[in-house]
A and B are shown apart, each in its own frame.
Chain A
Amino acid sequence: MLFQKIADTYHEFTVLRDVNLCIECDVCIGQCSYNVHYRDAVCFSDDVRSCIASDSSKCVGCLRCSALCPTGALSILSNDYCNGCSGTRQSALLRNIYKQAETGVKQSHAGRGHSNMPVYWDKLMLVAGATDTADVADITDKSLSSRSPNYLLNKPLLLDSTPHIAINPNLRTAMKMAADKLNLAEIRDKEISANGICAEEDSCEYGSCEYVRIPATHNVAKLALKAVDEGAKVLVIGGGSRGDGPFDRNDTQLMPIELAIGVVDNILRDEGVRESVFVIAASGIMCSSDVVKAVALGVDAVSIGAAMMIAVGCSLCGSCHTGKCPWGIATVESNLCKRQNPELAAEQMINVVNAWNQEIAEILESVGVASLSDMRVNKDILRAVGLSETEMKILGVEHAGQ
């Protein structure tokens, strides 16, 4: 573009406006917090008219405008195809280097822009009828109940309101509302708590406890063991994962959560302390089958925070660090925060969890397991497809066909 540096004009995304559909209602202008859309004077053959223009170089691909456009006139195209390279998100890589070349300033993504880690969940399949539960599940409900905290036992799903970036306080409110309504436990800053109503005196549904959060770094196993030695009852493993949700930034040093679950489970079992600790996986769970697989792989519960953010609009654009999230998620600016009405957000979260519960029930039925807690550390129900010996050893699963 004339008189401009490539660092300013290079765009990862192209905003496509169908002028036949656009009615120039200005909704997109109001919704974009990156000022992509604007009013411009355009010369026609005989007069000058005001019309809406878009500066694609500012677009982060959050899709807010196209979601709210009343006529569906906006499409956001990723420009990854344009340089013909293989691999994903090349355009983010180029954008970073162009910016660095121009300014000499560090960019938010140190690596290739967006994570390209494998998704092991997709390479694990659930097999029906392979289980002799009494034999395989060496951690039964009975042995679990000897551990504290009791109130977590029937709560394989948790909500995580402590992401490591600033999120809209309205969403914390919404998460609390959803957790209370669904009787889920919630990971807070210092504790994991549940406020469900105590139905019977002996089966306690509420309570709170401290926890230890460990990152899925290469020494996650040692960290886990150390925490247990120091008396931790609840471990929360935060892993690195694909996807660019609000919970997954700066993930280059973190391994995929599946491998972290595998090594932690292995070492705790080797040391004979698996039964004395409640393990929670706190990232990388994006769908209901991930929940089932994670529980089978060796955790007692999973936190589904990232999926909750998608439920309220997050499109994984990976621009959380700007603090200008147009969906009002990864932001604390008051004019953006109000885009999340806690009442509506809580309802969306509740709906997702309800839908997942139905799906999980179906999955459990199809593999012949009665409940999610029976699924705990039931690796025999998992089979790998296309994984190496090493990967399968870490995960503790056999290959499909074996």
Chain B
Amino acid sequence: MKRIFPDKKYCIGCKLCELACLVVHSVSKDLTSAYKNERVRGLAPSIQGIEKGETCVAVSCRHCEEPACVDACKAGALSKDSATGIVHYNASLCVGCWSCMAACPYDSIKQNKFSNKIIKCDLCSGREDGPACVQSCPNRSLKYEERSILYDGLEKSKISLEHSDGCGQSLGTDALIISGAEGDSAIGCTEHNFRVKFEAISKGLKRAVVVGSGHCGLKAAEILYESGVEVAIVEEASHVLPQESDGQAASLISRRIKDAGLTIKLGTAVRDVIRDDEGRVKGVLLSDRSFLEAGAVIFANGVSADISSISFCGLAMVSAGILGPELDLADDDVEYDSYFYCDEVKQIYRKLVFKDQLLVGYILVGDIESCSILTSFVKFRLDLDAESKKLLCSGVANLLMWPDNFFEKQWSPEKS
């Protein structure tokens, strides 16, 4: 297939490609209106001009042969068209979990902060003159042509997310187990199905208990909460998102959840589900002997979703690389060199874990814009010098931090 290839040797950094992209994807198709009015309402270019010193280049989606974003998308919003090769994005299915961003090592998917969805290149599909950015480049530093792209060729590491049709098991209409275990699929674990199912459950429901605060648990809690149900989250571990986060990042998420009005019980397990004479759920008995009243219980304990990102009440979180308990351990481990930054007021948390010259894991909460770059450093095992480490830690990152020859190999392969 034809793809867009940037040439950083001749990119002059004018960013006219971004403007062309805006116009073509605008409603008005008029530059002035698109840039001055529609941009304020969330229109954004899907090609980004980036700069580092005198070097600049414009990057957009590569429409990979084996796109990590499609694997990561649980909602089915991203799909690879086998005929054209284009990775399509269906905004109506997107739930804004930003898993794709965390999975993409090419920094080609951006947050749309207005709609809480994503922005991704569609190669101007169907446009007569080909992609608008290529047409608008005054120095022909963007080319639209057939070349064999070098796929990363690395084995899928922990961050390339297992695609899973999580299944659910239903115990009546008021107690539900969502898990990745094999079995008859009561709820396909896509966000869309989640939403339909939980919105059905929430009808007439006043209180619910969600057991487990992994990604699925929190998503379930969020949907119930949005439907007006009073939700309590019960988690056996000492913090929410035990698999995906360390204590400090989790506390930011917890705080946001509590601020929204949900209850969180940490370090407790469910002993029993109490039902009334007619078999309806009345509540749960917890290991600390307290009782939580609820009309429905959702068990999201051994949830499948090995998902690296989540948004809750507008607070986004991404983690990748070494996950789980190791993340906490990394602080004391001499093998690892970890950096963290926390801004309680802005609710931003950033933790980067290095091993020698490599970035091996990270957690971002709040500001997740640089997640894709961090993923690339983890995934491609790119060596970092002291200066690049410093930049990554400060939250400033772009693809031009890649070693030069690696960048050329990935973005400007020889014409086939």
Task: Please report A residues at the B interface, Cβ cutoff 8 Å.
Answer: 21, 23, 25-27, 30-31, 68, 70-71, 334-335, 338-341, 343-344
Minimal beta-carbon separation of B238 from chain A (angstroms): 47
Stretch in B93-101, B138-146, B372-380 touching the partner: B138-146
Q: A71 touching B32 by the CB < 8 A rule?
A: yes
* Inter-chain contacts of A30 with B (CB < 8 A): 12-15
A30-B14, A341-B139 known; 9 new pairs, CB 8 Å cut-off, are: A23-B35, A25-B35, A27-B19, A68-B138, A334-B54, A338-B11, A341-B10, A344-B139, A344-B140
Q: B13 touching A341 by the CB < 8 A rule?
A: no
Minimal beta-carbon separation of B11 from chain A (angstroms): 7
Minimal beta-carbon separation of B2 from chain A (angstroms): 18
Q: With contacts A68-B138, A344-B139 known, is A339 near B12, CB below 8 A?
A: yes
Within 8 Å of chain A (Cβ to Cβ): is B36? yes
Q: B16 touching A70 by the CB < 8 A rule?
A: yes
Bound CA span A393–B361, Å: 85
Interface string of B122-144 (1 = CB under 8 A from A): 00000000000000001111000
Within 8 Å of chain A (Cβ to Cβ): is B346? no
If over half of A's interface residues share one DSSP class (helix, strand or loop), that class is named, otherwise mixed; here it is loop
Which chain B residues in 53-68 approach chain A with CB under 8 Å? 54
Which of A31, A71, A343, A344 meets B14, CB within 8 Å?
A31
20 CB contacts below 8 A, A to B, read A21-B32, A23-B36, A25-B15, A27-B19, A30-B12, A30-B14, A30-B15, A70-B31, A71-B32, A334-B54, A335-B54, A338-B10, A338-B12, A338-B139, A339-B10, A339-B12, A339-B139, A340-B139, A341-B140, A344-B140
Minimal beta-carbon separation of B145 from chain A (angstroms): 13
**Chain A CB within 10 A, most for which of B9, B12, B15:** B12
Bound CA span A26–B10, Å: 19
* Inter-chain contacts of B10 with A (CB < 8 A): 338-339, 341
* Inter-chain contacts of A341 with B (CB < 8 A): 7, 10, 139-141
Q: With contacts A339-B139, A343-B140, A344-B139 known, is A27 near B15, CB below 8 A?
A: yes
Minimal beta-carbon separation of B334 from chain A (angstroms): 43
* Inter-chain contacts of A339 with B (CB < 8 A): 10, 12, 139
Minimal beta-carbon separation of A376 from chain B (angstroms): 38
* Inter-chain contacts of A31 with B (CB < 8 A): 12, 14
The residue in chain B whose Cβ has the minimal distance to the Cβ of A20 is B32
Minimal beta-carbon separation of A346 from chain B (angstroms): 11
* Inter-chain contacts of A71 with B (CB < 8 A): 31-32
Bound CA span A68–B139, Å: 11
Minimal beta-carbon separation of A185 from chain B (angstroms): 27
* Inter-chain contacts of A334 with B (CB < 8 A): 54
* Inter-chain contacts of A344 with B (CB < 8 A): 139-140
Q: With contacts A30-B13, A68-B14, A71-B31 known, is A25 near B139, CB below 8 A?
A: no
* Inter-chain contacts of B31 with A (CB < 8 A): 23, 70-71
Bound CA span A338–B9, Å: 6
* Inter-chain contacts of A335 with B (CB < 8 A): 54
Bound CA span A298–B407, Å: 55
Bound CA span A35–B243, Å: 52
Q: With contacts A70-B16, A341-B141 known, is A23 near B11, CB below 8 A?
A: no
The residue in chain A whose Cβ has the minimal distance to the Cβ of B35 is A23
Bound CA span A30–B35, Å: 18
Bound CA span A339–B7, Å: 12
* Inter-chain contacts of B54 with A (CB < 8 A): 334-335
* Inter-chain contacts of B32 with A (CB < 8 A): 21, 23, 71
Which of B7, B19, B140, B141 meets A25, CB within 8 Å?
B19
Minimal beta-carbon separation of A74 from chain B (angstroms): 14
Q: B16 touching A27 by the CB < 8 A rule?
A: yes
* Inter-chain contacts of B13 with A (CB < 8 A): 30
Which chain B residues in 293-325 approach chain A with CB under 8 Å? none
The residue in chain B whose Cβ has the minimal distance to the Cβ of A67 is B138
Bound CA span A339–B13, Å: 10
Bound CA span A338–B54, Å: 10
* Inter-chain contacts of B139 with A (CB < 8 A): 338-341, 344
Bound CA span A340–B11, Å: 10
The residue in chain B whose Cβ has the minimal distance to the Cβ of A343 is B140
Q: Which 5 A-B pairs have the closest CB atoms?
A: A341-B10, A23-B35, A344-B140, A335-B54, A341-B139
Minimal beta-carbon separation of A81 from chain B (angstroms): 31
Minimal beta-carbon separation of B57 from chain A (angstroms): 11
Minimal beta-carbon separation of B202 from chain A (angstroms): 45
Which chain B residues in 212-267 approach chain A with CB under 8 Å? none
Bound CA span A337–B15, Å: 18
Bound CA span A344–B143, Å: 12
* Inter-chain contacts of B11 with A (CB < 8 A): 338
Bound CA span A249–B388, Å: 46
Which chain B residues in 1-33 approach chain A with CB under 8 Å? 7, 9-16, 19, 31-32
Bound CA span A3–B32, Å: 37
